[in-house]
Every structure is written in structure tokens, then in C-alpha cells.
Chains A and B, each alone.
Chain A
Amino acid sequence: MAYSRDNNNNNNESNRLLAAVDWFTVLIYIVLVIAGAFSIYAATTSSTSQTSMFDLDTFAGKQIMWIGLSFAIGFSLLLIDRRLYEAYAYPIYAIMIIVLIVTIFVSPNIKGSHSWLKFGAFSIQPAEFAKTATALALAKLFSTYGFQLKGWRTYIVPVGIILLPVLCILLERETGSALVYFSLIFVLYREGMNGFVLFATLCAVTYFVLVLKFAGTLIMGIPLGNFIVLTCIMVFIVLMLLVYCRSLILGRNVTIGYIVCALLAWGLSAMGVHINGYAFFFTVIPLSIIYLLIGMFRDDLNKVLTTVIFAVVSIIFMFSVNIVFNHVLAPHQQNRINIALGIEEDLKGKGYNVNQSKIAIGSGGVTGKGFLQGTQTKLNYVPEQHTDFIFCTIGEEQGFVGTTAVLLLFLTLILRVIAIAERQHTTFGRVYAYCVASILIFHLTINIGMVIGLVPVIGIPLPFFSYGGSSLWGFTILLFILLRIDAVRTEYGTW
């Protein structure tokens, strides 16, 4: 067995392993954690008392300690046999779920959340480690012989694996961490889920934002948000006909029809005839649908029907957004969304963090104010700056150059992880790698989007940057297990 041979040629094996590790990823990782430590130092030293960066009483000093331990953990993980991860994926997942459930009951209340396990002076957040466990379990499931996503029944187990920790974490009142698991939809998509589901999900989010954001202004007698969404629907119909149905004739005819109608409406309103927006859209879109329903029998019936259904559901969804928003969401949720969308300015209350964060970033300019020179940072204008809002330290002190560099580093890391995923020889490796990529995509999108005011405030950390041992260790473990699994690929040649 490979295991005993490893023992016999331990030295030789280790050398070969180290050679096989994806050092490029390790390098990005090291750059990110060190930049993170400096940012935390900048964010937490006060202007009056300059403490050493290595002072263990400060956040920066502690973070450096976490980083040191992370390196040890990462190195240890590289030494563990890769097959153990695969073999123990389910037990690890089961243990994590138990820990999450226990946490709900034993955790002290910290700012309303019950997600911390305390061991004396030391506390950890199990939710940060549950991501790795879930990724392993999902990878294990997909690597089961003969498992394929085909038919809705096959979705039950993977969706269950994803939703179980979500449920636990929601009960811990850590909504942000729970939402992270929904990013695993990318993994399902990569492993065979109908792409239309992903497309529909993204459309729904887009419609939601547009309808609410532009509800205030009127155009042609209807809210601008609805106007844009209806226009989008028309564009999507055309795109779906051309790209998804590959029906050039239908696509072309519908396009010509839309353009003629739009020009006609434009000409009439230029002549002073008032045209109601709804009257226009609900004449043009149903006409095109009737045309498609007739035309589909000459074409790919299923796909054209899907397009028609998509259009109808989109319109229904658009109208239900307002109803859902006003009657289903709780006021504080409405608030958060309103502030993130810039509909409401509440600079003293819920919008304070985001506003101060934007000021910090915006005041950085091209090259920033310089390390430790940020006034917003030093004078504590942004709450939680060393944790969730760490990115604005970079923005203020390193400017556009710094923020661009950090974003590009993350982008490189994620694209690298996707590349690693695709070069895996095992389904286990590939699915695990996509889990890592999806989780990083979600954290990056939400955290930075929140800090620059594009996304509602959802309290999740920026990977490798934000202060906190649990978060750093969680991401280190997530990444280094991937590196260990990836390092195996060269061994195939010897097998």
C-alpha cells in the first residue's frame, strides 16, 4: 500500500510532495495574510500611543500569532495523507454538525449571536470550520461511484448536506456565515445542474435590486425600476432565442418586431401622444409570446417554451418583489436593503458603518494617505474596521493602487483555484476545489461589496485579511487541504 511505502521512503516522499505543492497559491496566501496583519496593525493602533506590531496585547500582535500557528497548521496538513480526508469526510462532517448544534446551546451571547465556543480565555467559531467539513462531505458525495445529478431526487442529498449546517448556523444567529453555503450552487452547477437555474437565480437577484432601487422615479407613467426590468426581459428573450434555443429566425424576427415597436412608441411620444409604459410592454411582450407559441412548433419546442415561461415568470416575479419587500420582510431587513441600495440615507444609524467606510476608501485617492496615516482609520470612524471592514484600511492608506492590487490578488487566487480544480484527476479533488473557489467568491463579493456600499451589510470576514483566529485558521485549513489533495496529482504518474 502507498501508506507503508510512504513510511519507508519518508524523506524521499516529503521532498517529492513539497515539489508538487502549488507554490504559486502558497505565495498568494502568504502575501495576503501578511498584508492582512499590516492592515490590522494600521486599523487598531491609536494615534497617541504607538505600540509595537508584535505586542501580543494588540490585535495585530495576536493576528501575527494566529498567522504563525496557521503556517504550522498548513504545513501539518500537507504532511497528512490525502486519502484520510476522503476517508474521514463524513465523520468530520458529522462531528462538525454536532459541534455546531452544541454551540447553539453553550455559546455565550456575543452581540446577539451564539456562535462562539469558549475554552478559558480562548474562543473559536465552529462555523468557520464547518465550511471545510461541508466541502469535504460534498466532494465525498460526488465522488461516490455512479453519483450523478440527474432528476430532482439526486439533488436531495447534496442540497441536504449544504442546508444542514445552514440551519445550525441560522440557529446560532450568524446569518452572514449561513448565507456563505448558498455559494455552493456554483459547485452544483459545475457538476451538472441545469445552467438555467443559475441564470434564473442571478436574474431574480438583479430584478430584485433594480425594482427596489429605481422605484422612486417614473418614466412613461411607470416606475423606472419596472421599466428597466421589462426592457431586460425583452433583451433576455432575444438572447435566449439566439444563444440558448439557437433559433436564429425566431430571434431575428422578435428583435425586428421589438425595434419597430420601440421606434413607433418613441415617434408617437415625440409627437406628443402620451403612451403608458405598461400599455406598451404588455402589448409588445404578449404579442411576441403569441408569435413564439406559434413559431415553436417549427423549432425546438422545449427550449422555446422554456423561454416563454421564463418571460412570464419574470414579469410575475417583478410585480411580486414590491409585495414581498413591503409585506414579508421585517423592517430591519427592509432597512438594510434600502441602505445598501442607496434608497435611504441613514448616516447616523444603520448606514453609519457603510458611509464611514466609503468615506475612508474614497478619501484614499489614487495612492492613499500612506501606512498609518489614515485619519478615518486611526480615529476609529469605521466600527469593526479590523474585522469585517478591514478593506477600507487598504482603501484609505494605500488608495486605488492598493485596493486594485488586493482585488487582483484575490481574483488570481480564485482563478488559480478554478484551474487547480480542473486539473484534478478525481471527482473528489475537483468538487472540493470548486467548493473552495465558491466560498472565496462569495466572501470576496459580499465583503468588498458591503464595504464599498454595493451590497447589503452582511457580516462576513474578508478571507486571510480580517482579524480573527477562527476565520484565518478556517480559510487556511480549507486552502491547504486543497493544496494537499492537489499535490497528489503528480503521484499518478508513479502509480
Chain B
Amino acid sequence: MRKDYNLEKRKFVIGGFIVVVVVIYLWKLFDLQIADDKYREIAVSNARSTKVTHPSRGQIYDRNGKLVVYNEPAYDLVLVPKDVHEFDTTTMCKILQLKREDFDLLWKNMSDPKKNKNYSATTAQPLVQNLDSITYGRLQEILYRFPGFDISQRIIRRYNYVAAANILGDIREVNAEDIERDSDNYYMPGDFTGDLGIEKSYEKYLRGVKGKEILIRDATGKIMGRYNDGKDDVAPIAGKDLQMSIDIDLQLFGEKLMRGKRGAIVAIEPKTGEVLALVTSPTYDPSLLVGKDRGKNYSRLVSDPSKPLFDRAIMAAYPPGSTFKPTQGLIFKQEGIIDNNTSYPCTGGYVNKGLKIGCHGHGSPISLQPAIATSCNGYFCWGLYYMLNNKKYGGLEKSFTVWKDYMVSMGYGYKLNIDLPGESRGFIPNYQFYNKMIGKDKWGANSIISIAIGQGEIMSTPLQIANLSATIANRGYYITPHVVKQIRDVGISKTFTEQHHTKINPAYYNDIAGGMRMAVVGGTCKGANLPGLDVCGKTGTVQNPHGRDHSVFMGFAPKDDPKIAICVYVENAGFGAQVAVPLGAMVLERYLRGASEEIESRATKWSDSWLEDAATVVEQDQEELNTGKRDTIPSKSTASAKHGGDDNLPATQWPQEKAILSSPTRFMSRDGIFKG
């Protein structure tokens, strides 16, 4: 046996080698297992798949507890592209009852980031939406054979009434912009969000709180069970139900009356600011914006020239016409320009320094209440003339600013902030506006005198007019109008209980209310004189460049304990007394006296006969155009005078109004006569 001690020492090199290797490996293991936490997190995200569970969306009731909007489940086939391996397309197509080409097309659309803006390989992408229940059942059975695929359940909205589409709004799938803007990080691709109406404005309450389910997922993406027996799962919290302040039956009634017309009805409970009905016409069936055909229907509604998506009740800015006169009376009284005994002359109109604004036959001189009752143009023009030229203000700028501030305090010129999206602010001009429009020092009271009678530059929404009516009913304050009475378990925002007092002494409102009562008893709104209901009202007949006058009615009832304040605005329908007054009267009666077959059939009859007449009017207009008798449709038609037979106020003259410069942006007609 040869023993070489030099060579034996080499055991240290060989042993040393493996010791060094083991030390290096231990160091690496220390780094992997102890120093670095990232692997623990990756293992967790590997093994756990967090599935979001969607809460059911809050349902919507009317003020009397009638269910208006509810939910129905809908099923979509979704997939996470990253987790999808090769799969049996033949079986899939067979179950989905799709041809291979159609399936491929759906697949292409889903995976094309240009078409599917929310595309991401790691989140669930919808492939087929709104599966029927049979397909859903079949798919559920074989889904385990298709890793990466899943069925997502979501809800679709169902409507019990074909009404109130403008108030209810709709829901739609979120887009990339919504997700980006969402500060709560609530939305994920495929989620739904309120798009219009209270679905949008109460989205945060309606949507609820998402829950989550933590599932265990194996390497192939197959779900192996629940993590920790579901103890860490979070149940979703259902969205809050809404109770609207809308009376859905009154809303339906109003929509029936507005059939075939363009315009709006706003009814408010004065004491609470609760909107009882908010009718716009033309409108649409809310179910059109649900489900598969939503996109198609939506673009049809958008391109419809009658703009059914445009909520005229809150978005349209119209000249308020004679409904504006009460505000002027209030300002003049508050400013001491007039008192109860002040009378202004009006023989055929307001005639001052060569300017004439026409009026109609009534006694002269005339004081405030009769002026409201007869809707005298001269009275309010003189009032504004004397106010703006009053030396006590020290100039036009100051006096006009005082005037404007009163208007703003009455809810004009700014949004009222109703709980609906898209409200218009209307328009109340200020001193600078006229400087820009006419020129500094080039204008005076006479140049703008038509604003005293709600024409000229003044614009307001039907909601603002109804709000004025409610303010008069309340004798000096209003509560921001709102369409949701309460959010279940939450109540209501403080902004909808707060009283906004105008800058006018409440006592003066009694005079105005008295004048409006006179108008109903013996003035322009005799058609609204409902026995026992003490209706107060004011008509408006608004000239406009779009054709026949707009017919307006503003009122409330009963006089001393008002339950309802209303504004009816019907575009191009003629005198206020002819269309808006009887229409408003029926709404008041329907609300105050409750439902009855008699009033329903009366409303149907009235509405139908109006539609027939309207058809004849159009024919006549057409005929006259054809025969060359007239080259435009006149702003007032003899045909429309057939309506409201009890209130035929003759037109006296059509003076040229020189002081007001014509401008294409102005709604003001050059015709100086204003009736109402």
C-alpha cells in the first residue's frame, strides 16, 4: 500500500470545494428565503385569485313607495386572456350556438385593443354578453374544461313604467376615461356606472360596495377551492334604494298630456322643494337604454332631431315671458319704486320717448295686482324704467346691479343645483354684458326695457319658473328642488332641506299671490279656476324666432296652504291661456284631487283633440306657404286661437321696436307685443 501524503492533502481541496459550494448556496437561500419578501407575495398572487363580487344596485321607488326601477340578472361569458390555453372551440361554439366565423369575430373584437379599449391580458374581458338562461346553464356545466373562462353575473335595469326616462337616466359600461377619473378606484373594466339622470347623480349610493372572494387557483388556472374556507371573503354591500319625490302617476299623467308637444312640466311641493313631476317632451322609453341594443338605441336617440335625450325641464333655457312679471313687481316694491297705490298709464302699451311696447285692452292707469292679473306690459316697463333711472342709485351701473342681484336671489341666472346632471343656468344679463353687447354709455333703460316682461336677453329653465312659483307659494323662500326624497339608511343631503330666502320682504309676496289669484279668478288664467282649489296663476306667451309663440303657465294651489307649484312650458303652441293653462289646470287637479277615471279620460280626450288640431294647423300653414300667401310661418296663428276659447285676448298692434338692437344670439323678437 502506497500512501502519498502530498496527494492526501488534496482531500482538503476537494472537501473545501464542496464546503464553498454549500456556503454559497446557503447564502443564496438566505437571500431568497429570508432577505427578500417578494417571493412570498408572488406565491400569494400565484395561488390566490381574487374574484370581485358585485353588489346589487339600489332600486328606485316613487314618493308613494311604488317600485319604478328594479334589477334583473344578466350573464356574460368573460375570459382572462393570460389564463386561456388552447381550448375546444367546436364545443364552445356549439354551446354558444355560434358559427365558427362569428365566434372568431367576437374573439378578434375582444382582443383588439383598438375596439376593446379596456383590453388587458390579465383581467376578465367580456366575450359574449347577455347569455340566455339555457346557454348559461349549459356553460356552467362544462366551464371547468375551459380554464381562463368564467361567467360573470351582472344586473340589468328593468322599468315598471314607461315614464320618467329623463329623471331615471340609465347605466352604461365604464370607459377608460371613467376609470382614470375615478378617485375612489372603484371601477374596473366591465363595471357599470350611471350615465344620465339620478342613476348618474346618485351613482355613489346606488352602486353599493363591492365584495371579494378569494379562491385558490392551480398552475393551469383551475379553481381548486376557497382560500381559508372563505373566512377572508368580503360580502358585497347592496346599493342604497332611492325614494324619489316624484309621484310616478302624476309623472305619467303629465307625459300623457305632453304627447305630441315640445316642452316641459315641472311640479314642485313648495314646502319641501320636492319635485312631484318633471316632464319633458318628447321623451323615450327608458327600457331602450338597457341590454344588447343600448348602443344602437342610444345613437338613434342622439341623432333624433326632436332631441328626446334633451331634458327640456332643466336643460332648456327659454325666455320666461310674462311669468317673469311677478319678480319685477317684487323688486319694485322692495326698492320702493312702487307701492300698492302706484299706478302707471297703459293705453295700448308702454309709450316712452318714441318707443312703444304694445299691450292689450284693460283699464288705465293700472296698479300692481290688476297689472299681474291682466299681464299688463306697460306697468312693468314703466316700473323698470323708473327703477333704473332712479337717482338714488347713482347711475345705471349701480341700479342695474341691484336689479340683477334680486334676480339671482330668486334663483335665476345660476343653476338651482337640482340633483340631476346637465342643468342649465339660464341667463340674467349684468351691466358689463350690455356694455359689451351695445356699447358703454350707449344703452339705457329703454334699450333693454323688454327684460321687464321676460323677453330680451332673459333666459330661464322651466325648473326656475316652477321654483319662482314655489317661492311665491312659500311667500319668500325656496328649497332647492330635488327629485330624490330620500336615500334609504342615509336620508338626504342638507342642501335639500335648507331654506333659501330671497332679498324680498315676505310681506310683498302676498300682494303678488293676490295678483296671481286675481288672474285666475278674472284675468288671463280663467281656465285654471278650479272650484275649491284656490289656484293662483300667471300665464306667459313668449315670442320667439322659431315659429308660433311658446305657451307658458306658472301657478300654485291652494293659495293659502300651497301643496303644489307648477310650470308648464309648451313650445310654439300659441297663447299661454290656450294650451299651458288648461294643461296646468289638469295637472293641479289631478294632484290635488287624486286619481279618477273622469280626469284621466278628460286628459286623454284633451290630448287627442289637441293632436288633431295641431295636424290641421300644420296643414293650413303648409297650404298657405304653398299658395304663396305668406313666406314664413307667423309667430301667431289664427288656427291656434280655437283653443282656450274663454280667454281670447285680441292682438292690438305690431309696433316696430327700434331701441333693441337685433342680434342673432338674441331670442328677442322685434315684435313689441307681449301677451299673457
- Chain A residues engaging chain B, CB cutoff 8 angstroms: 46-48, 186, 189-192, 195, 198, 356, 358-366, 375-376, 379-381, 395-396, 399-400, 403-404, 407-408, 410-411, 414-415, 418, 421-422, 425-427, 434, 437-438, 441, 444-445, 448-449, 452-454
Contact = CB atoms under 8 A, between A and B. Distances in A.
22 contacts: A48-B225, A190-B10, A359-B42, A359-B43, A359-B46, A362-B36, A363-B40, A375-B43, A375-B216, A379-B219, A381-B219, A400-B29, A407-B26, A408-B22, A411-B18, A411-B19, A415-B19, A441-B14, A444-B21, A448-B25, A452-B25, A452-B28
Nearest to A381: B219
Interface string B213-255: 0001111100011000000000000000000000000000000
A396 B2 CA distance: 49
Given A361-B29, A400-B30, A449-B21, 5 more contacts: A363-B42, A375-B216, A376-B43, A376-B46, A437-B14
A396 B217 CA distance: 17
A395 B38 CA distance: 15
Interface in B34-65: 34, 36, 38-40, 42-44, 46-47
Contacts of A445: 18, 21
B107 interface: no
B33 A190 contact: no
Contact of B220 (A361, A380, A408): A380
B393 interface: no
Given A363-B43, A364-B33, A380 B219 contact: yes
B20 to A, nearest CB: 10
Contact of A189 (B10, B19, B25, B30): B10
Contacts, number: 135
Contact of B18 (A189, A375, A415, A454): A415
Nearest to B36: A362
Contact of B28 (A189, A364, A438, A454): A454
Contacts of B14: 186, 189-190, 418, 434, 437-438, 441
A394 B29 CA distance: 12
Contacts of A407: 22, 25-26, 29
B636 to A, nearest CB: 77
B33 A395 contact: yes
Which of B1, B36, B38, B43 has its CB near the most chain A CB atoms (within 10 A)?
B43
Contacts of B34: 365-366, 400
B464 to A, nearest CB: 62
A362 B224 contact: no
B391 interface: no
A273 B34 CA distance: 43
B292 interface: no
Contacts of A404: 26, 29
Contacts of A47: 216, 224-225
Contacts of A410: 22
B653 to A, nearest CB: 87
Contact of A454 (B1, B8, B24): B24
Interface size class of B (residues with CB under 8 A): 35 or more
A372 to B, nearest CB: 14
Nearest to A445: B21
Contacts of A363: 39-40, 42-44
A346 B225 CA distance: 30
A441 B22 CA distance: 10
Interface string B253-281: 00000000000000000000000000000
A181 B99 CA distance: 59
Nearest to B24: A454
B220 A454 contact: no
Nearest to A148: B2
A422 B47 contact: no
Contact of B13 (A189, A356, A395): A189
Contact of B7 (A48, A192, A359): A192
Give the 9 A-B CB pairs with smallest separation, nearest first.
Answer: A362-B39, A363-B43, A375-B47, A379-B218, A362-B32, A400-B33, A380-B219, A363-B40, A381-B219
B17 A452 contact: no
B11 interface: yes
Which of B17, B29, B47 has its CB near the most chain A CB atoms (within 10 A)?
B29
A437 B13 CA distance: 13
A251 to B, nearest CB: 21
B270 to A, nearest CB: 65
A418 B15 contact: yes
A403 B33 contact: yes
Nearest to A454: B28
A292 B402 CA distance: 105
B11 A418 contact: yes
A46 B34 CA distance: 27
B40 to A, nearest CB: 5
A422 B11 CA distance: 8
B46 A379 contact: yes
Contact of B46 (A48, A375, A441): A375
A195 B219 CA distance: 48
Given A48-B224, A361-B33, A376 B47 contact: yes
B19 A362 contact: no
A422 B219 CA distance: 48
Interface string B379-405: 000000000000000000000000000
A357 to B, nearest CB: 10
A356 B29 CA distance: 15
B1 A426 contact: yes
B179 to A, nearest CB: 27
B1 A425 contact: yes
A410 B15 CA distance: 12
A191 B11 CA distance: 11
Contacts of B7: 190-192
Contacts of A186: 14, 17
A395 B47 CA distance: 17
Contacts of B218: 379-381
A191 B34 CA distance: 41
B80 to A, nearest CB: 15
B19 to A, nearest CB: 7
Contacts of A415: 15, 18-19
Contacts of B30: 400
B33 A366 contact: yes
A399 to B, nearest CB: 6
Contacts of B36: 362
A130 to B, nearest CB: 22
Nearest to A48: B224
Contacts of A418: 11, 14-15
B13 A399 contact: no
Contacts of B46: 356, 359, 375-376, 379, 381
Contacts of B43: 359-360, 362-363, 375-376, 396
A131 B14 CA distance: 19
